[in-house]
Amino acid sequence: MGQDRDFRLALGSFATGVTVVTARAPDGRLAGLTANSFASVSLDPPLVLWSLSRHAPSCAVLLEASHFAIHVLAEDQHALSVRFATSGADKYAGLDVAEGLGGAPLLSGAAALFECRRRETYDGGDHLIFLAEVERYTHAERAPLLFHRGRYAALQARVA
Protein backbone atom coordinates (compact mmCIF):
# COMPACT_ATOMS: atom_id res chain seq x y z
CA MET A 1 0.00 0.00 0.00
CA GLY A 2 1.31 3.50 -0.87
CA GLN A 3 2.41 5.60 2.05
CA ASP A 4 -0.01 8.41 1.14
CA ARG A 5 -2.96 6.05 1.04
CA ASP A 6 -1.95 4.45 4.32
CA PHE A 7 -1.59 7.87 5.97
CA ARG A 8 -5.07 8.82 4.71
CA LEU A 9 -6.47 5.58 6.15
CA ALA A 10 -4.84 6.27 9.49
CA LEU A 11 -6.25 9.82 9.55
CA GLY A 12 -9.68 8.44 8.63
CA SER A 13 -9.78 6.63 11.97
CA PHE A 14 -10.57 9.99 13.51
CA ALA A 15 -14.37 10.30 13.29
CA THR A 16 -15.59 13.83 12.63
CA GLY A 17 -18.69 15.82 11.95
CA VAL A 18 -19.17 17.36 8.52
CA THR A 19 -19.37 21.06 7.69
CA VAL A 20 -20.10 23.10 4.59
CA VAL A 21 -18.13 26.36 4.47
CA THR A 22 -19.56 29.13 2.28
CA ALA A 23 -18.25 32.55 1.27
CA ARG A 24 -18.74 35.42 -1.15
CA ALA A 25 -15.88 37.43 -2.68
CA PRO A 26 -16.22 41.24 -2.81
CA ASP A 27 -17.09 40.97 -6.54
CA GLY A 28 -19.97 38.59 -5.75
CA ARG A 29 -18.39 35.26 -6.73
CA LEU A 30 -19.61 32.45 -4.48
CA ALA A 31 -17.65 29.49 -3.15
CA GLY A 32 -18.59 26.64 -0.87
CA LEU A 33 -17.13 23.32 0.06
CA THR A 34 -17.59 20.37 2.33
CA ALA A 35 -14.95 20.32 5.08
CA ASN A 36 -14.36 18.03 8.03
CA SER A 37 -11.16 19.78 9.20
CA PHE A 38 -13.23 22.11 11.40
CA ALA A 39 -12.18 22.44 15.04
CA SER A 40 -12.93 24.68 17.95
CA VAL A 41 -9.92 26.65 19.18
CA SER A 42 -10.78 29.27 21.81
CA LEU A 43 -13.78 30.33 23.87
CA ASP A 44 -12.55 33.84 24.66
CA PRO A 45 -12.21 35.19 22.07
CA PRO A 46 -14.44 32.71 20.20
CA LEU A 47 -12.12 31.17 17.60
CA VAL A 48 -12.45 28.21 15.26
CA LEU A 49 -10.26 26.80 12.50
CA TRP A 50 -10.50 24.68 9.39
CA SER A 51 -8.13 23.90 6.56
CA LEU A 52 -8.49 24.26 2.81
CA SER A 53 -6.56 22.48 0.09
CA ARG A 54 -4.33 24.94 -1.80
CA HIS A 55 -5.47 23.16 -4.98
CA ALA A 56 -9.21 23.74 -4.37
CA PRO A 57 -10.81 25.97 -7.02
CA SER A 58 -12.67 27.73 -4.19
CA CYS A 59 -9.37 28.92 -2.68
CA ALA A 60 -9.35 32.33 -4.43
CA VAL A 61 -12.81 33.31 -3.16
CA LEU A 62 -12.07 32.14 0.38
CA LEU A 63 -8.87 34.19 0.46
CA GLU A 64 -10.67 37.31 -0.78
CA ALA A 65 -13.74 37.06 1.44
CA SER A 66 -13.74 38.88 4.78
CA HIS A 67 -16.17 36.34 6.27
CA PHE A 68 -17.31 32.77 5.83
CA ALA A 69 -20.16 30.73 7.23
CA ILE A 70 -19.52 27.28 8.66
CA HIS A 71 -22.57 24.98 8.65
CA VAL A 72 -22.36 21.92 10.86
CA LEU A 73 -24.47 19.47 8.90
CA ALA A 74 -27.37 17.53 10.35
CA GLU A 75 -27.84 13.81 9.76
CA ASP A 76 -30.39 14.43 6.98
CA GLN A 77 -28.04 16.73 5.02
CA HIS A 78 -25.92 14.03 3.40
CA ALA A 79 -26.96 15.19 -0.10
CA LEU A 80 -25.76 18.71 0.70
CA SER A 81 -22.39 17.32 1.75
CA VAL A 82 -22.05 15.40 -1.52
CA ARG A 83 -23.10 18.47 -3.52
CA PHE A 84 -20.53 20.76 -1.88
CA ALA A 85 -17.78 18.14 -2.23
CA THR A 86 -18.31 17.99 -6.01
CA SER A 87 -15.85 20.25 -7.81
CA GLY A 88 -17.05 22.24 -10.80
CA ALA A 89 -20.77 21.82 -10.13
CA ASP A 90 -22.99 24.88 -9.67
CA LYS A 91 -23.21 24.16 -5.98
CA TYR A 92 -25.90 26.76 -5.26
CA ALA A 93 -28.27 25.83 -8.10
CA GLY A 94 -31.82 25.57 -6.76
CA LEU A 95 -30.80 26.23 -3.15
CA ASP A 96 -32.62 28.76 -1.04
CA VAL A 97 -29.91 30.90 0.60
CA ALA A 98 -30.02 33.86 2.93
CA GLU A 99 -27.26 36.47 3.12
CA GLY A 100 -24.99 36.34 6.13
CA LEU A 101 -22.18 38.52 7.48
CA GLY A 102 -19.84 39.61 4.70
CA GLY A 103 -22.39 38.35 2.19
CA ALA A 104 -21.68 34.68 2.93
CA PRO A 105 -24.54 32.45 1.72
CA LEU A 106 -26.44 30.84 4.58
CA LEU A 107 -28.01 27.39 4.09
CA SER A 108 -30.94 26.24 6.18
CA GLY A 109 -31.31 23.07 8.24
CA ALA A 110 -27.84 22.84 9.79
CA ALA A 111 -27.27 21.56 13.31
CA ALA A 112 -25.19 24.69 13.94
CA LEU A 113 -24.11 27.73 11.99
CA PHE A 114 -21.06 29.83 12.75
CA GLU A 115 -20.65 33.16 10.94
CA CYS A 116 -16.98 33.99 11.09
CA ARG A 117 -14.58 36.78 10.24
CA ARG A 118 -11.25 35.54 8.92
CA ARG A 119 -8.48 36.47 11.31
CA GLU A 120 -5.35 34.64 10.15
CA THR A 121 -4.32 32.27 7.39
CA TYR A 122 -1.43 29.92 8.18
CA ASP A 123 0.70 27.67 6.04
CA GLY A 124 -0.43 24.08 6.47
CA GLY A 125 1.63 22.23 3.86
CA ASP A 126 -0.65 21.45 0.93
CA HIS A 127 -3.48 23.13 2.89
CA LEU A 128 -4.10 26.63 4.24
CA ILE A 129 -5.29 26.88 7.82
CA PHE A 130 -8.00 29.49 8.38
CA LEU A 131 -8.32 30.84 11.90
CA ALA A 132 -11.53 32.82 12.32
CA GLU A 133 -13.49 34.70 14.94
CA VAL A 134 -17.12 33.69 15.39
CA GLU A 135 -19.25 36.84 15.21
CA ARG A 136 -22.69 35.19 15.25
CA TYR A 137 -23.95 31.64 15.65
CA THR A 138 -27.09 29.55 15.97
CA HIS A 139 -27.64 25.91 16.81
CA ALA A 140 -30.51 23.46 17.00
CA GLU A 141 -31.25 20.05 18.50
CA ARG A 142 -30.49 18.11 15.33
CA ALA A 143 -28.54 14.85 15.13
CA PRO A 144 -25.19 15.38 13.37
CA LEU A 145 -23.92 13.91 10.12
CA LEU A 146 -20.67 12.02 10.82
CA PHE A 147 -17.70 10.97 8.67
CA HIS A 148 -15.45 8.01 9.48
CA ARG A 149 -13.02 5.94 7.37
CA GLY A 150 -14.15 7.68 4.20
CA ARG A 151 -17.86 7.01 4.78
CA TYR A 152 -20.82 8.92 6.13
CA ALA A 153 -22.33 7.70 9.38
CA ALA A 154 -24.97 8.57 11.92
CA LEU A 155 -24.80 8.61 15.69
CA GLN A 156 -26.27 5.33 16.97
CA ALA A 157 -25.76 5.39 20.67
CA ARG A 158 -24.16 7.47 23.34
CA VAL A 159 -21.49 5.81 25.46
CA ALA A 160 -22.35 7.59 28.66
Ligand X SMILES: Cc1cc2nc3c(=O)[nH]c(=O)nc-3n(C[C@H](O)[C@H](O)[C@H](O)COP(=O)(O)O)c2cc1C
Footprint on this chain of ligand X (rule: CB under 6 A) = 18, 33-37, 50-53, 56-58, 85-87, 147
Q: How far apart are CA 71 and CA 74, in angstroms?
A: 9
Indicate the residue among 134 and 146 with the shorter CB distance to ligand X.
Answer: 146
Give whichever of 92 and 137 is closer to ligand X, judged by the CB atom: 92
CA 57 to chain centre: 15
Least CB distance from residue 44 to ligand X, whole Å? 25
Q: How far is the CB of 64 from ligand X (least distance, A)?
A: 14
Q: In whole angstroms, what is the distance from residue 73 CA to residue 146 CA?
A: 9
Q: What sign for the dihedral angle of Cα 143, 16, 43, 32?
A: negative
CB 62 within 8 A of CB 68: yes
Q: How far is the CB of 13 from ligand X (least distance, A)?
A: 14
Q: How many CB atoms lie within 10 A of CB 110?
A: 24
Distance in Å, CB of 38 to ligand X, minimum: 7
